[in-house]
A and B are shown apart, each in its own frame.
Chain A
Amino acid sequence: MSKLELKAVSKRFGAVEIFSPLDLTVEHGEFCALVGPSGCGKSTLLRIIAGLEPPSSGKVLIDDEDVTGQEPPDRGIAMVFQSYALYPHMKVHENVGFGLRIARRSAEEIKSKVAAAAQKLRLDALLDRMPRELSGGQRQRVAIGRAITRDPRIFLLDEPLSNLDAALRGGMRVEIARLRQSLGATMIYVTHDQVEAMTLADRIVVMNKGRIEQIGAPMELYHHPANRFVASFIGSPSMNFFEADVRDGNGDELVLRLADGSDMVVDRVISPVTSGRVTLGIRPEHVELGTAAGTGNCMPGTVVVVERLGCDTLLHIDATGRPLVMRQPRDLAGIHAGERVTCRFPAEACHVFLN
């Protein structure tokens, strides 16, 4: 259980700046997910925290101690790599106990710690196998086992589940949540997968192009995205966006005019906008299927594709030239491609972003 702080950390490779100075605090025992598109610098940030990569400027603090120049083991961190990075020539128990062996711990201590880790991760039966004789999920568990034997202050996990198939990923997600509860350690978890981030994390850090776009609890990001990037990144399918002009920003409500000339009335609590060009956003699950045209906040459209997911139905709609996706928690048996529908945007569900 430890607290991690990054103070004005920046990184450049040669002339290429990967991130401009950024600050981040991860509290004791917190599970923090780092999400963002590929190449935005998540792994690099994690490697800076681990001490595998020196920051170009700034400081890394663990429990208020400046660890910027220290080696990974001295920082008390453990890392699980995306590719697992199991030593191919060592058996599972040697892999798990290698860090202790290097630290010259006694044979008994290594043995008991390896056994404890194995039990926690249900690896007991696999201890004498070589890594190549394991399945993907088992390798993943060994990689985690290797991390927990070191009793780290902070766990760093770099896309630990991305090499697994969908079913296994679901199982391992539960496993990590369980492990997290039993260890109570501070964890920093890099992922592409917003479902992992939403379900596992206490807090999510959304990164883009080396900047932190927003930090917040999963539901906070979902309900109150700070900007268009976060809004589009969190939630699936992604939020619908429309360009709009502010027509009237004086009342309790905001009146926006869309490109097709229709007006939308939006709760103004959401965003303090008074004039100019903005982007209107609404999540597919918040769009309502209207019947009568003409009642306010409606947009007519033609159904292009119907996707029935079982519990939900996704409608891909051509709304006078612009795509719109809506998600309905019904099977909508009566609706087929080609049908004309009316979509209603509830005022309280709309988001407004400055351009």
Chain B
Amino acid sequence: MPTLASQGETIRLQPATRRSRRFAGPWTYLFLAPAVLLFVVFIAYPIVWVACQSFFSEDRDHTASFVGLETYWAVLGDPVFWIVVRNMVLWGLITIPVQMLIGGTVAYFIERHTNAWRGFFRTMFFLPVVTSVSVISLVWVQIYAPYYGIGQEYLRHFGIIMASSPIGDPSTAIYALILVNIWQWTGFSMLMYVAGIANLPTEVLDAARVDGARGLRLAWSIIIPMLMPVTKSLLLLGIIGTLQTFPVVQLMTGGGPNHASEVFGTYVFRTSFVLGDTGKGATISVIVLVLALILSLVQIVYLGADLAPSGHKEESR
């Protein structure tokens, strides 16, 4: 400013005497700090640690020696590992679609065909989600129990005789656990679909009705396609949930009998904390981690990350 009158000078002093004000100076990076700190200490650092550890093997006298990919070959050669993989695939393939199907159907009827009872149904079907998983596990052990459980009692009415508990039989154990999981988490799918259906734009539904779409036809050709984003989120959450599976299995079968119902959680737990094999535990952890990342990347590439709008999609390319 070359030409400032003396009057201008006095005015210019004002801002300096005022509290200097910045809407968003460098200090605003502190907004990011707490979350980043948590992430670095409790997520990133452990991941790096476990990745490094997987290349070492610890001896009895606590000296670690570098063994390269040796533990990886050991894990991949372990038949239990492949049982785990099979179980996880089964788990995902069964629980996710079944939960979507039941949850979606129930949500559709609750949202479109009930009124006074809507809140009641929404709440009741969600209750298993909020019931402590350890409680659920013990209840289902009791249900599955031979002789005094109600499971075998009810099945007898349909002509099915169970000689032993389904969780005690290697061929059925994993399915019995999957059933418990479906029972617990269907309410979650239901509530997500409830939100999706409630948020459908009424104009579109009205337009479809004007076009003559009604009942199942409306559901099939309008509602289901428009709920695709919910379905995608549920798929993503379902895959994450599958890899997180632990408490139900740990409490009901402990991965048994004879590893028949082993999942990643129990496998890691047994290896690391029961058997104390840190190297192998770390290796399994890394494999699970890589698998989770691959699965979610595949999903994001093919379906887009609907849980994460806008920004994330660009970043993940």
The answer to whether A and B touch directly, with their CB atoms under 8 angstroms apart, is yes
- Interface residues in chain B, defined as those with a beta carbon under 8 Å from any beta carbon in chain A: 1, 4-5, 7-8, 11-12, 15, 18, 21-23
A73 near B21 with CB under 8 A, answer: yes
Which residues of chain A from 27 to 81 have a CB within 8 Å of any chain B CB? Answer: 63-66, 70-71, 73-74
A63 near B21 with CB under 8 A, answer: no
B143 to chain A, nearest CB (A): 48
A contact residues around B11 at 8 Å (CB): 63-65
B1 near A74 with CB under 8 A, answer: no
Known: A64-B8, A65-B8, A71-B23. 18 other contacts (CB 8 A): A63-B8, A63-B11, A64-B4, A64-B5, A64-B7, A64-B11, A65-B11, A65-B12, A66-B1, A66-B12, A70-B15, A70-B21, A71-B21, A71-B22, A73-B21, A74-B15, A74-B18, A74-B21
A contact residues around B5 at 8 Å (CB): 64
Q: How far apart are the CA atoms of A66 and B3 in the complex, in Å?
A: 12
- Interface residues in chain A, defined as those with a beta carbon under 8 Å from any beta carbon in chain B: 63-66, 70-71, 73-74
Q: How far apart are the CA atoms of A73 and B22 in the complex, in Å?
A: 10
Instruction: Name which residue of chain B comes closest to A51, CB basis.
Output: B23
Q: How far apart are the CA atoms of A74 and B19 in the complex, in Å?
A: 10
A contact residues around B23 at 8 Å (CB): 71
A contact residues around B21 at 8 Å (CB): 70-71, 73-74
Can you give 20 contacting A-B residue pairs, CB < 8 Å? A63-B8, A63-B11, A64-B5, A64-B7, A64-B8, A64-B11, A65-B8, A65-B11, A65-B12, A66-B1, A66-B12, A70-B15, A70-B21, A71-B21, A71-B22, A71-B23, A73-B21, A74-B15, A74-B18, A74-B21
Instruction: Name which residue of chain B comes closest to A73, CB basis.
Output: B21
Q: How far apart are the CA atoms of A74 and B11 in the complex, in Å?
A: 12
A contact residues around B4 at 8 Å (CB): 64
Q: How far apart are the CA atoms of A71 and B7 in the complex, in Å?
A: 22
A19 to chain B, nearest CB (A): 22
Q: How far apart are the CA atoms of A63 and B15 in the complex, in Å?
A: 14
Q: How far apart are the CA atoms of A66 and B22 in the complex, in Å?
A: 16
Q: How far apart are the CA atoms of A73 and B18 in the complex, in Å?
A: 11
Instruction: Name which residue of chain A comes closest to B10, CB basis.
Output: A65
Name the 3 nearest CB pairs between A and B, nearest first.
A64-B8, A71-B21, A65-B11
Instruction: Name which residue of chain B comes closest to A63, CB basis.
Output: B11
A contact residues around B15 at 8 Å (CB): 70, 74
B contact residues around A70 at 8 Å (CB): 15, 21
Q: How far apart are the CA atoms of A64 and B3 in the complex, in Å?
A: 9
A51 to chain B, nearest CB (A): 9
Q: How far apart are the CA atoms of A63 and B22 in the complex, in Å?
A: 22
B contact residues around A71 at 8 Å (CB): 21-23
A28 to chain B, nearest CB (A): 14
Q: How far apart are the CA atoms of A283 and B5 in the complex, in Å?
A: 47
A58 to chain B, nearest CB (A): 13
